[in-house]
Amino acid sequence: MAVLEEHARALADGVDAALPRWVERSVEHLLVAHRGIADPAAMAAAREAGKRARADVGVRVRALLQVDIDEQHTNPLSILRQAVSYPTEVLRQAGVPPVERDRFAVERFPDDDYDLTPASFADIDPSLFDAGMAWGAAKAWVHKQRHGVPPNGAPR
């Protein structure tokens, strides 16, 4: 359990550090694509949105990772996907038109006008890849230790 807790803490710390930067990068990328420049007012709004994302979504990711695995009814990436609302709000206020998305994205993530929904931890920041994999592996190991079928095949 100590290893799982260590990996959970590392993932939560990584999310806390990366989330505000992801919001800012997302806004900047689409502003530049739409206008050719990321204006200072919109980037200031993106910085504030990034802080709010960390205070909301980052806190919820950390809270989930502190709960026993048998009580986790969602996963950190699902919670991180909710952070899309922060750059989306800034981009809408800046007048950036929605991007074209495929049918799956529209159906699965209807509020993601800018196709920002992360498919993996690495989409938030490449540094989260290893932390997410290590946490997932540690969680799977603990789950197997608790609930796996013993070698003789008899249920536990």
Task: Kindly list the averaged pLDDT for each block of 10 residues, start to end, along the chain of length 156.
Answer: 94 98 98 96 98 98 96 96 97 97 94 96 96 95 85 61
Asked if residue 154 is part of any domain, the answer here is no
Asked if residue 37 is part of any domain, the answer here is yes
- Integer Cα distance of 10 and 8 in angstroms: 5
Residue tagged 């550090």 (tokens)? 17
Total number of domains constituting the chain: 1
Neighbour-count burial of 134, counting CB atoms closer than 10 A to its CB (0-12 exposed, 13-18 middle, 19+ buried): middle
Asked if residue 155 is part of any domain, the answer here is no
What pLDDT is recorded for position 156? 55
What pLDDT is recorded for position 148? 84
Asked if residue 84 is part of any domain, the answer here is yes
Asked if residue 82 is part of any domain, the answer here is yes
Residues 118/57, Cβ–Cβ less than 8 Å: no
Asked if residue 151 is part of any domain, the answer here is no
HSE-CB for 97 with a 13 A CA cutoff? 5
Asked if residue 76 is part of any domain, the answer here is yes
What pLDDT is recorded for position 154? 60
- Integer Cα distance of 131 and 41 in angstroms: 33
Asked if residue 148 is part of any domain, the answer here is no
What pLDDT is recorded for position 153? 61
- Integer Cα distance of 135 and 32 in angstroms: 35
Residue tagged 């920002």 (tokens)? 116
112 is in which domain, residue-wise?
A: 2-142
